[in-house]
Amino acid sequence: MTKSIALTAGGTGGHLFPAFSLAQELGRRGYEIDLITDMRGHHYGSDFPARQIHQVPAATLAGKNPIAAVKTALQLGRGTAKARKILTKLKPACIIGFGGYPTFPPMFAAKSLGIPAILHEQNAVMGRANRMLAGKCKAIALSFEQTIHVEGELAQKSRHTGNPVRDVVIQAAKIPYPEITADGPFNLLVFGGSQGARYFSDEVPPAINLLPQDIRNRLHIVQQCREEDMGRVDAAYKKAGIDFEISTFFTNLPEIIAHSHLVLARAGASSVTELSVIGRPSILVPLPHALDNDQLRNASFLQKAGGAICMEQKDLDAARLAHDIAKLAGDPALLQNAARAAMGVGKPDAVQRLADLVEEVAGA
C-alpha cells in the first residue's frame, strides 16, 4: 500500500519552492503527496507535484490589538478544524512543515492526531512561526548548520540537510559559467520579489546611467518589475540605450540565473540557495526591517564564503551600486572566483538528505 506524506507551507515562493522539491523527490520514491497551504498557494502551486492541494484558513499573529488577536485566533481555529478533517482522511505517515503562519493549523492538527512532524527551516535564523512549532516536532531540518534560535533540545533533534531546490535548478547548475571577455556581452540579472522589485526599479536605472559607456555598451539586463513599474523602467533603459528584458515574472528564472555573469537580488533563502547551487556571483541587498534580520544573515553567509557582496539598503545609493557593478564587470577573474566560491557552499543533494529524514521519521 502506497504511503501518504503531507506537506504544509506558507503561500509564498520561499516556503513553497523547497516543498515543491521534496514533493518531486518523494514522488520518485513512490509516495503519494498532498500539500496543505493557505489561500495564496495557487499563485505558486498550480503545477505542484501533489495528488491534491488543500487550502485551509490561516492568519498571521501580529500586533497587540485585542480585537485583531481574537479574529486571528478564530481564523486559526477554523483552519485547524479543517486541517484535522483533511489529515483524518489522508492518514499520512508524516507531515513536513516549511514555515510561515499558514503551517499552524495543519501542524497543530497533526499533533492532536498523533501524526509525526518535521519542520524545515530555510533561513539562517529560525522564523517565529517555526520557533512556536519546534517543540511539537519529532525532527528539525536546517538549511544552515549554524542557525540562530536552534539550541538545547531543539539542537539535539536537528539535522543539517540544506535547503532543497527544484529539479529545474539542478538542471540549470549543469550550465557552465558563461564566458566573459573585455569587449563581450555582460549579462546582469535583477530580481527580488514584490518589495525587492519595487526597490530595484527605483535604484538600478539611475545606477546604470552612471556606468562608463563601454560597460553600458556591453550590458544586457534581465529585470523583474512590478506591473506598475514596467513603464518607467522600460523608458529609463530605452533612454539610456541599454539592451534589456523586463517582466513581472520569469518562469525560467533558474536558467536565466545560469546564463548571468552577475545577479543583483534580495537575500531570501530560496534566492541564496539557488545562487549557491547554480554557482553565480551576486550583489545581495537584504530586505531591511525584516523580523530577525534573516535576509542579512543569509547574505552574510554567502559573502563570507566569497560568493557574494552583501550591501545593506541603508548604505546603498546609485553611485555605490554603479561602482561595484563596474568593478566586477571589469574583472572576469574575480567574477569566476566568486562563482566557484558560491557553488562551493551549495548543497544540490539537500532534497535527498531531507527525503531520507522523512523516511526515517515516517518509519519507512
Q: Range with the lowest mean pLDDT among 51-55, 196-200, 235-239?
A: 196-200
189 and 136, same structural domain?
Answer: no
For residue 333, the model assigns a pLDDT of 95
Residue 67 has a pLDDT of: 78
Q: Which residues contact 134 (CB under 8 A, 6 or more apart)?
A: 119, 126, 140, 154
Indicate which CATH number applies to the domain containing 128.
3.40.50.2000
| CB contact at 8 A, 263 and 275 | yes
Report the alpha-carbon distance of residue 165 to residue 347 in Å, rounded.
Answer: 9
pTM: 0.91
Q: Torsions phi, psi of 23, nearest 5?
A: -60, -40
- Are 34 and 48 within one domain? yes
Q: How far is CA 307 from CA 163, 170, 280, 284, 342, in A?
A: 17, 18, 7, 10, 4
Q: Is 35 helix (H, G, I), strand (E, B) or coil?
A: strand
If you average pLDDT over every residue of the chain, what do you get? 92
**What is the band of 89 on the pLDDT scale with cuts at 50, 70, 90?**
very high
Indicate the helix (H) or strand (E) that contains 353: helix 350-362
The residues, ordered by sequence, that sit 6+ positions from 200 with a Cβ below 8 Å of its Cβ are 190, 191, 192, 223, 224, 264, 285
In this predicted structure, the answer to whether residue 45 has a pLDDT above a threshold of 60 is: no
Q: What percent of the chain has pLDDT over 70?
A: 95
Q: Are residues 227 and 321 in the same domain?
A: yes
Whether residue 103 sits in one domain with residue 81 = yes
Query: Domain check: are 206 and 185 in the same one?
Result: yes
Least confident of 65-79, 239-253, 268-282: 65-79
H-helix or E-strand spanning residue 362:
helix 350-362
- Distances from the Cα of 120 to the Cαs of 40, 135, 233, 277, in angstroms? 20, 13, 37, 18
Distance (Å) of CA 81 to CA 58, 96, 133: 11, 18, 17
Residue owning grid cell 544573515: 297
Instruction: Name the grid cell of 117.
Output: 512532524
Block residue for cell numbers 495557487? 42
Q: Do residues 250 and 222 lie in contact, with contact meaning Cβ atoms separated by under 8 Å? A: yes
Q: Are residues 113 and 20 part of one domain? A: yes
DSSP codes, 207-268: HHHTS-HHHHHHEEEEEE--GGGHHHHHHHHHHHT-EEEEES--TTHHHHHHT-SEEEE---
**DSSP category for residue 94:** E
Both 175 and 252 in one domain: the answer is: yes
218-268: pLDDT as tens digits: 999 999 999 999 999 999 999 999 999 999 989 999 999 999 999 999 999
Inform me whether the pLDDT recorded for 289 exceeds 90. no
User: Do 277 and 159 share a structural domain?
Assistant: no
What pLDDT was estimated at residue 62?
63
pLDDT at 43: 54
Question: Is 202's pLDDT higher than 60?
Answer: yes
User: 109 and 140: one domain?
Assistant: yes
Q: Which pLDDT band holds residue 269 (cuts at 50, 70, 90)? A: very high
* Count of domains for the chain: 2
- Could you read off the pLDDT of 102-154 as tens digits, one per residue? 899 999 999 999 999 999 999 999 988 899 999 989 999 999 999 999 999 99
Confidence band (pLDDT; 50, 70, 90) for 40? low
| Whether 119 and 28 share a structural domain | yes
**Could you tell me which residue, 251 or 187, shows the higher pLDDT?**
187
The answer to whether residues 37 and 8 touch, using CB atoms and an 8 Å cutoff, is: yes
Question: How would residue 194 be classed by pLDDT, with cut points 50, 70 and 90?
Answer: low
Question: Cα separation of 322 and 318, whole Å?
Answer: 6
For the stretch 4-24, pLDDT in tens is: 999 999 877 788 999 999 999
Q: How far apart are CA 229 and CA 236, in angstroms?
A: 11
With a cut of 60, say whether residue 44 has pLDDT above it.
Answer: no
CA distance 362 to 358: 6
Instruction: Give the pLDDT of residue 314.
Output: 93
Asked if residues 189 and 262 have their Cβ atoms less than 8 Å apart, the reply is: yes
The number of angstroms, rounded, from the C-alpha of 2 to the middle of its chain's C-alpha atoms is 30
Structural domain of 308: 171-344
Indicate if 305 and 249 belong to the same structural domain. yes
- 121, with CB counted inside 10 A (0-12, 13-18, 19+), is buried
Same domain, 150 and 79: yes
